[in-house]
Amino acid sequence: MAERRREKTVRDLFPSDVLVRRLKAETKEEAITELLNALVIDGVLDLSREASVRDSLLQREQVASTGIGNGMAIPHAKNKFAERLGVAVGISDQGLDFGAHDSQYAHVIVLWICPPKETQAHLALMRGLATVAQEEKVMWRLAGAKDKRTFLAFLEGVPAEKK
């Protein structure tokens, strides 16, 4: 009897050291700084490279908003100083204006940085999060997540690719 392969979920797209934090930030710029600082503290990014990566994230925000709607924002950047994919998630109780097309404030902010060569991981994460943002029930659960384990568990049930 052939072994049945498990369908890939959005959870599978996240690195194991993803961080989940309650945000103190009151603006998108403060949220980006706070989440980037978390990646530095956790050793994902070298402190001496933080300013360069912050600049690339903020420049990306000026090109086009990363508020994707339904309460989610995905600030992200490829940067030569990112040694590997690093992801930090911020939960904002009050919500932050990331300029989403639906005018909703973001309560779930998923920031990631990756090396320029990691195009596949970058695009897969972007597609997976776009799928999550379409699932209103999942979005409310994510916004209420109290810790990393709970946040990631909610992503287990969401297929990585829409059929």
Per-residue pLDDT tens digits for 139-160 = 999 999 988 899 999 998 888 7
pLDDT over 70 for what percent of the chain? 95
162 within domain boundaries: no
Q: Which secondary structure element, helix H or strand E, spans residue 87, and what is its range?
A: strand 86-96
3 within domain boundaries: no
Count structural domains, the chain. Answer: 1
41 within domain boundaries: yes
Q: What is the mean pLDDT of the chain?
A: 89
pLDDT over 90 for what percent of the chain? 51
Q: What is the CATH number of the domain that holds 26?
A: 3.40.930.10
55 within domain boundaries: yes
User: What pLDDT, on the 0 to 100 scale, is given for residue 3?
Assistant: 60
| Structural domain of 111 | 16-155
pLDDT(130) > 70: yes
CA distances from 69 to 5, 27, 105, 114, 118 (A): 32, 17, 8, 23, 25
Higher pLDDT, 108 or 148: 108
53 within domain boundaries: yes
Backbone phi, psi, residue 106, to 5°:
-85, 130
9 within domain boundaries: no
45-95 pLDDT, tens per residue?
A: 888 899 999 999 999 999 988 999 999 999 999 888 888 888 999 999 999
8 within domain boundaries: no
Is residue 76 within 8 Å of 66, Cβ to Cβ?
A: yes
26 within domain boundaries: yes
Higher pLDDT, 103 or 135: 103
User: What pLDDT, on the 0 to 100 scale, is given for residue 15?
Assistant: 83
